[in-house]
Amino acid sequence: MPATKKKWLTAMTLSALLLVPAGAAPGLQPAVATDENAELGNALSEILDDPRLDGATVGVNVTNASTGKTVFNRTDHLLLHPASNMKILTGVAALEVLGPDHRFTTDVLHTGRLNPGGVLKGDLYLRGKGDPTLLKEDFAQFAKDLKAKGVKKVHGNLVADDSWYDDVLLSEDLNWSDEHNYTGAGVSALTASPNTDYDAGTVIVNVNPAKEAGAAAEVTLDPFTESVTIENRAETVGKDGKKSISITREHGTNNIVITGTIPVGATASRSWTAVEDPTMYALDLFKQALKGEGIKVSGKLSEGETPEGAAALTSKQSMPLSELYIPFMKLSNNGHAEVLVKEIGRAAAGEGSWDAGIGVMEDVLVGYGLDTEGMRLRDGSGMSHKNLVTAEQLSALLYEVQAEPWFPVFLNSLPVAGHPDRMTGGTLRTRMKDTEAAENVKAKTGSLTGVSTLSGYVTAENGEKYIFSILFNNYLASSVTPIQDEIAEAIAELD
């Protein structure tokens, strides 16, 4: 844990002392009547009268980042779904509990003994401790390390150990129809990612046309894995035909089904598809890597805990959280959020589970003065439609964390409005271009059906820094993000 003040350690005591109504955020001060408030209030009120919000539920809070005084609010006490603004709470809790230098470790160990001829008479274990960034190349390096140590054959089983976390792969509110999507991938302590976006527990399915119409489409996987099966029903059609490809994994199975048509010469269709068993997916990649180095395994692939006394052969540490937070927050990676929930549960409560992790998260939030009796936390990513927070609570948290030594890491991880670079602008890279908010607003986006949110920081033309939280729920319009952008732009234009 970082050498910072451990406010969350005294959470129960603080909770008992906080004599505030449910949902209140004691860190913020009431608005005062100033010309600044009036000017901003008039502008934002006009923006919020947009007919696209007719019938919607709105929570908006704007706070001076230096003083903590609220300068505008519109029903900011209402409990609303945060969508991926939930990652603000998760990200803060993980930095406070784990620290920005925290790394995940993956180990390769063995039982038995390695004889002079290079035969390992025992089982080989691949033990994961939550790293969501393991790539095909990392398993290849493990295999190279074993070869360098003289291992030529494993006369035993190849065993995956994911016991660092519990065996519940999916958060309880995840819709079954989302299970095959990369946004709903299962969370395991041992997993793999297909590329450097680090969407752990997913494989990229590529569908290309054949050279001639009438032939089956050509399907490949990145990385190739035998942990899933492919049922290819897609057909190549003529150049003037329709491109309509569906890629999905059948509920509760390893079977990925591809249907539809793709014209000759068309560009590929791609899908980041969640695998059914991320643990065995990782083990399969390790098995292939061993085979690539000429290391034979005589036994079977299985799952189990590494025995006490197993000897270490090699290991890998992930990048620190300070680096992982870039793809996590910029790209709004759901899997990273859920891993962090389980990791803080393991670190602070001795249990890598959602229940333990969310309990630790609540303790952290109480330490920042938030009343967790006035909110509902169900996951780390915001995928759950049962999460409930207020705009006031989000602004209060964003205000309080500015004093933390790890705050620059958190701030740097937020998407930057209008910045074209994907790992800088993130989910805001196409928004607020050519405005005073461009490359100024640093904020977390959020989106679910009928939910759109944006919370973060902006500097006005007058030099004042502001915190804002905008939560829109239950709208029917096709998009309400332009309204959020107008609010952020109006704050940026204050002079």
Catalytic residues: 84, 87, 332
Separation CA 338–CA 187 (nearest Å): 7
Separation CA 209–CA 211 (nearest Å): 6
Apex CA 393: angle with CA 367 and CA 413, to 5°? 80
**What is the residue-wise DSSP string for 84-110?**
GGHHHHHHHHHHHHT-TT---EEEEEE
Separation CA 451–CA 447 (nearest Å): 5
Residue identified by tokens 């964003």 is: 398
- The Cβ of residue 305 has, within 10 Å, a number of other Cβ atoms equal to 13
Supply 97's token pair. 């509990």
Supply 187's token pair. 């969370």
| Dihedral, CA of residue 328, residue 330, residue 332 and residue 334, to nearest 10 | -10
Helix 86-97 crosses helix 334-349 at what angle (to 10 degrees)? 40
Contact 57, 474 (CB under 8 A): yes
Separation CA 55–CA 163 (nearest Å): 47
Supply 453's token pair. 């949110």
Q: Which residues does 94 contact at the CB level (< 8 Å), separation at least 6? A: 102, 321, 340, 343, 344
Name the DSSP letter for residue 328: I
